[in-house]
Every structure is written in C-alpha cells, then in structure tokens.
Amino acid sequence: MADQPHRTPRTLHPETLAIRTQTPRSAEREHSTPLYLTSSFVFDDAEQARALFTEEEQGNIYSRYSNPNTDEFVRKMALLEGADDGIAFASGMAAVFGSMAAFLRSGDHVLASRALFGSTHQLFTKLFPRWGITATYVDADASADAWEAAVQPSTKLVFVETPSNPGLALIDLDMLGQLCAAHELMLVVDNCFTTPMLQQPMKHGAHLVVHSATKFIDGQGRVLGGVVVGNADLITELRFFIRHTGPALSPFNAWVLSKSLETLSVRMERHCANALAIATHFEDHAELDFVRYPFLASHADHALAVRQMSAGGGIVVLELKGGLDRARRFIDALELLSHTPNLGDVRSIVTHPTSTTHSKLSEAERVQVGIVPGMIRVSVGLEHRDDLIADIEQALERSK
Ligand SMILES: *Cc1c(COP(=O)(O)O)cnc(C)c1O
C-alpha cells in the first residue's frame, strides 16, 4: 500500500530495487507479480470498513485510491528517485498538472524553464491563467542571478525540465535547489528524459520529481502513464487532490510499467551507448550544421552534463543543412527509423519539432528554445547501432 512505509531496504542497488521490490506473494505462491484487475476490495467486516475509511487502518478500498499493481510501480519509482513516497497517474500530463495544481491557488506565480514539453507550455499559457495562476519563463542558460531576479513575492513553485525537449539544454539543479531553499519555493523537476537511472533531482534539492512513464519507463511504446514522487508531506497533500479528482493509473498499465522497470537499467545503458555512437559518428558530417548531445564535448553544457547525469541519455538532435524542405525529405527517405511523436521506445524514432510537437509556438518562440527548421530529434532505440547509422546515412544522401 502506498500509505505504508517502504519495506525494501535502501541499501540495495537501483538495478536490484527495480527487480526485487514486489507486491507480497499471494496464497497462490506466484513468482512474478500477478495482475490485480479489480475496481474495489472486500471488507472483512463492518468495523474494518469503518477503520479503512477513517484511515485508522491502512489498506485497499477502491482502485482510484490504491491498487497493489499501482503501489508496486510507485514504490519502485520512489526508491529509484530516492524519494519518500509517490502517486501514479493515467498519463505524464496528468502527473505534470497534478504536481502543480494540487499546491497552487489563485494569485500564485510559477517560475519555469522556457524550453518545456508542448502541453506543459499550454498549461502555463492557456489553462493556469483561467484560475489566476501566472508563470514566467527563464532561459535555460540563465545565470543564478537571472533566476533570482525573476522570483516575485507571489512565486510559489519552480518547474523545470533538464535536458530540455527537444533542444537538449541543461539546467543546473544544484543552483535551483539552493535558490528554492533560500526563497522557500517548491522545486518540481520533470525527469522524463533521463529517468532515475541517469539523474536523481531529489539529491539536488527537488521536492517533487515528475515522469511521463509513457517514454523510457515503459520503453516499448505500449501504454500511457505518469508518476510523481517526492517528500512525504507533499505526497500526502497530492494524494488528497488525486483521490478526489480521479486521474488514477489503470492497474493493467501499472503492471506493464512495473515489469518494464525491471529492465530499465540495461535498456538505458544501451539507449545511451547507441546515442553516443550516433552523435559521435555524425558530429562532423558534411550534410549537418550541428549534432547536439549532452555527452559530446562540443555541447554547450558538457561540464554540467557530466556532473549532473551519469550518461548522456537516449536523445540526439541533428540539424540538417537545407532547413525545412531538407528535413522533410530526410524523414521521408528513412527506411528503418519510425516517424512518430513518441520517444524512449526500443524502436528508434525521428520527430520534426518545427512542424509537429512545437508547431503551435511562434517562429520567435521556437528560436528562443533553440528549435530551427532543419532540426530533427532522434530518439535512439535498441536496434544495432550500425543499422541505425546506415539508415541515417542513406537518408542524408537521398535527401540532398
Ligand atoms: C511526453 C512528455 C510528457 C507528457 O507525458 P504523456 O505521458 O504523453 O502525457 C511530459 N513531459 C515530457 C518531458 C515528455 O516528454
């Protein structure tokens, strides 16, 4: 149960925790956690029902509140991120929304990094203003002084993504952790691009860590899901919001996601190794203006990347010579890589941010977050790297 203290000792390594954190074995003596597809749970007697509802007794009542599969997934994520507790959501966006909506009220102000996932940007610009919540964007490369100067008396929370999607700009989490501690602000980090295997924002002073589990955590492009982990008191407050607004994760999706976590460490190792190989191979290619990858020495934030992340991640950004038309011809010339808006899949994927995920931004807004018309985001999968390199090579050649 999410409300119970974690029983898995924290001294185990992340690889072990992701595998051995498991729902208690049932009377059937199963080895692998079964799927608990049940919307509600039976009370032993009238007294137990009363005690569960008053929270004198901890236990399952109804799957919008808790479910063994959801709890196992959340417990693993909290252990991997070094957080006290967490809550699962039906999607990454439900998690992003909940991580802020549960704590903000009319008149509050949010400071956010400018380069954000598209729907998070819509939250700040179109939805929160309806409820009197305002947001200010700060550039990814802003100094500590610039962040400090943007803090207002009504600022309640700081929300960032690092590395950013798709520009791969990094933000110094230690710097933000100190800023938030000094001003008593909540620091919320969307850690979707790195997963806890590469970066753990709680260590740098984050209060909540948000994930779209749809990406690397599922890792096989099957289900939507989200999760927020963090300090116990904040999660208690968030739990009230979630129980009564209802964005609960399906137990089936939770079961899939918990199984996926068992292989997260090996998958991330390969995603990162393949991505580094591709970034290195294409770095000086004649048909590209630049290649961006946090663990290339040429990356503007390379020193920070090496300090804050244990590997460079699975996303590589290529900027093709020839702009928009070239980028479109390149995508249509690919034979192996998929063209789809997801990322973090075993299958390598290309996306053209200008015409898809970031098409709702103005040209000026795109430039501010480093998106140019010839930019292609590559989510590097687990296929053999030579096959990926060969496909990108032939598509560069054919799209000339
Ligand atoms: C995909 C994504 C989200 C939203 O997640 P969904 O599961 O699609 O709702 C949020 N943040 C980042 C960084 C993402 O890549």
| Cα torsion 229, 234, 237, 241: sign | negative
Chain centre distance of CA 293:
18
DSSP readout, 249-279? Answer: PPHHHHHHHHHHHTTHHHHHHHHHHHHHHHH
How many whole angstroms separate alpha carbon 16 and alpha carbon 80? 10
Q: What is the pLDDT of residues 144-183, one digit of tens each?
A: 999 999 999 999 999 999 999 888 999 999 999 999 999 9
How many whole angstroms separate alpha carbon 355 and alpha carbon 189? 27
Ligand 1 atom closest to 93 (CA): 9
Cβ of 163 less than 6 Å from ligand 1 = no
Q: What is the pLDDT of residues 113-125, one digit of tens each?
A: 998 998 999 999 9
**Count of C-beta atoms within a 10 Å radius of residue 309:** 21
How many whole angstroms separate alpha carbon 124 and alpha carbon 114? 11
Query: Hey, which residues does 318 pair with through a beta bridge?
Result: 291, 376
Cβ of 165 less than 6 Å from ligand 1 = yes
pTM summary value: 0.95
Helix, coil or strand: residue 134: strand
CA distances from 46 to 23, 66, 99, 221, 397 (A): 26, 20, 35, 44, 73
**Which of the listed residues 117, 123, 223, 257 should we mutate to test ligand 1's pocket, taking the one with most ligand atoms within 8 A of CB?**
117
Would you say residue 7 has pLDDT above 60? no
10-261 is classed CATH 1.10.10.60: no
The residue whose CA is least distant from atom 1 of ligand 1 is 212
The rounded mean pLDDT for the chain is 95
Is 86 in contact with 78 (CB distance < 8 Å)? yes
Q: What is the pLDDT of residues 288-312, one digit of tens each?
A: 999 999 999 999 999 999 999 999 9
Cβ of 224 less than 6 Å from ligand 1 = yes
Candidates 273, 268, 227; CA nearest to 248 is 227
The confidence band for 44, taking pLDDT boundaries of 50, 70 and 90, is very high
DSSP readout, 309-320? Answer: -SS--SEEEEEE
Find the mean pLDDT for residues 5-23.
81
Q: What is the CA radius of gyration of the chain?
A: 22
Is 312 in contact with 305 (CB distance < 8 Å)? yes
Q: What is the pLDDT of residues 362-390, one digit of tens each?
A: 888 888 888 889 999 999 999 999 999 99
Q: What is the pLDDT of residues 78-134, one digit of tens each?
A: 999 999 999 999 999 999 999 999 999 999 999 999 989 989 999 999 999 999 999
Cβ of 117 less than 6 Å from ligand 1 = yes
Is 228 in contact with 209 (CB distance < 8 Å)? yes
Residues ≥6 apart with Cβ < 8 Å to 131: 106
Find the mean pLDDT for residues 25-34.
96
Helix, coil or strand: residue 111: strand
The residue whose CA is least distant from atom 7 of ligand 1 is 92
Domain ranges of the chain: 10-261, 264-398
Would you say residue 1 has pLDDT above 50? no
DSSP readout, 141-202? Answer: T--HHHHHHH--TTEEEEEEESS-TTT-----HHHHHHHHHHHT-EEEEE-TTTHHHH--GG
Cβ of 350 less than 6 Å from ligand 1 = no
Rounded distance from Cα 89 to ligand 1 centre (Å): 12
Rounded distance from Cα 139 to ligand 1 centre (Å): 20
The predicted pLDDT at position 356 comes to 87
**Which of the listed residues 97, 99, 116, 119 should we mutate to test ligand 1's pocket, taking the one with most ligand atoms within 8 A of CB?**
119
Cβ of 318 less than 6 Å from ligand 1 = no
Cβ of 192 less than 6 Å from ligand 1 = yes
Rounded distance from Cα 92 to ligand 1 centre (Å): 5
Rounded distance from Cα 91 to ligand 1 centre (Å): 8
How many whole angstroms separate alpha carbon 171 and alpha carbon 327? 28
CATH of 264-398, one of 3.40.1440.10, 3.90.1150.10, 3.40.50.12780, 2.170.8.10: 3.90.1150.10
